[in-house]
Amino acid sequence: MGLPSGTFNQSYGQDMAIFRTRTHWVMLLAFLIFLFACPLFFSDRILTILTIIGITIISVHGLNILTGYCGQISLGHAGFMAVGAYTSAVLTAKLDWSFWAALPCAALAAGMVGLLFGLPSLRIKGFYLIMATIAAHFIIMWVILQLYSVTGGGNGLAVPRPEIGGFVFKSKGSYFYLVLIIACLGTFFAKNLVRTRAGRAFIAIRDNDLAAEVMGVNLLSYKLLAFFIGCVYAGVAGSLLVHYFAFATVDQFPFMNSVWYLGMLIVGGMGSTAGAIFGAVSLKLLDELVTIVGPILSAAVAPQAAASLGLIMRGLVIIIFLIFEPRGLAHRWQMVKAYYRLWPFSH
């Protein structure tokens, strides 16, 4: 953990602390207060965007653990989200389970399916693993569509909203709080996970799996663990998404979402908890910008000018980051912090 000039660690505890100085704590507290105060001064529209961003952050954290830290590239993340989503939807809608019981089951189900599709990861990697995870997405979608009597097939499934002690999370503000709390817990867990033995093993596998194995890292178990944890996050995000819409349909989990989640990691910075947040926030806000700019561009240039603008812009941003800042926004943020730490001395 970098510290401002003149501040030194004096114990292992201090060295390990995520938030080390009073300024860190004050900033964190101010940021959390700001987040929790959002429903007081933001419109339903902004709260909807923030809620969707929150759900995306949870999902991207999972992909970051799997891909960013462990190096197992997955393009089946939307499929794993669908597993969690439908588990939760079926348990609450068909079996009248409480959301609070269905949520961990959704996470577990997605994790188990992730384990299953993670099994080939010991033998295959890179391009072949990508193909395997793409297959996972389509197999999951196929199964959901075939199980018509359980999942509603193409017609989808109406899902009840979360409820606690008679209070229904129906308003935009209440659901925002629910997502915010889970996103904060997810971020805290992700940040700490990579500081554990498992996290260090993930990084070792990502950097050089042969070297990691030689050092005694059990490749299969740690790769599977990464798949499991990554998919648990996806399952939670999927569950939150369908309960937010109060409806579950396979169209909520298109294959392209998996691609954009990977894009978020590229833009935010792979292998960084902050990167997952930066990536999700920036690409989702870009989405909103494009949505607003589209009609203006269409009126000014040509009616067709807005068509596919979202795809073009997202693609362009990812390419720009790959060329000019492959370490993502998280690296930029590190540079800003480094500048602050060294101030008033320059590099």
Binding site for another protein (CB under 8 A): 43-45, 48-49, 52, 145, 148, 152-156, 158, 172, 241, 245-247, 249-252, 254, 287-288, 290-292, 294-295, 303-304, 306-311
The minimum distance between CB 287 and another protein, in angstroms, equals 6
306 vs 147: CA distance, rounded Å: 38
In whole angstroms, the minimum distance from the beta carbon of 131 to another protein comes to: 17
> Which residue number, 45 or 332, has a Cβ lying nearer to another protein?
45
E-strand ranges in 183-336 read 247-248
Please state at what angle helix 255-268 crosses helix 273-300, rounded to 10 degrees: 110
- Cβ 146 to another protein shortest distance, Å: 10
* Sequence-separated (6 or more) residues with CB below 8 Å from residue 236: 58, 84, 103, 106, 107, 110, 182, 186
Distance between CA atoms of 236 and 83, rounded to whole angstroms?
10
State the nearest-atom distance from the C-beta of 89 to another protein, in Å: 13
Rg (CA), the chain: 21
From the CB of 40, what's the least distance to another protein, in Å?
17
* Smaller CB separation from another protein, 23 or 146: 146
Task: Closer to another protein by CB, 292 or 342: give it.
Answer: 292
- Whichever of 76 and 152 has its CB closer to another protein, that residue is 152
For residue 185, give both structure tokens: 């817990």
Residue closer to another protein (CB basis): 158 or 181: 158
Closer residue to another protein (CB): 104 or 254: 254
Report the largest interatomic distance among the alpha carbons of the chain, rounded to a whole angstrom: 67
Rounded to the nearest 10 degrees, how much is the dihedral formed by the CA atoms of 154, 87, 36, 42? 10
Cα gap 80→258, rounded to integer Å: 10
Which residues have a Cβ under 8 Å from the Cβ of 93 and sit 6 or more positions away?
157, 158, 159, 160, 248
CB of 60 to another protein, least distance (A): 14
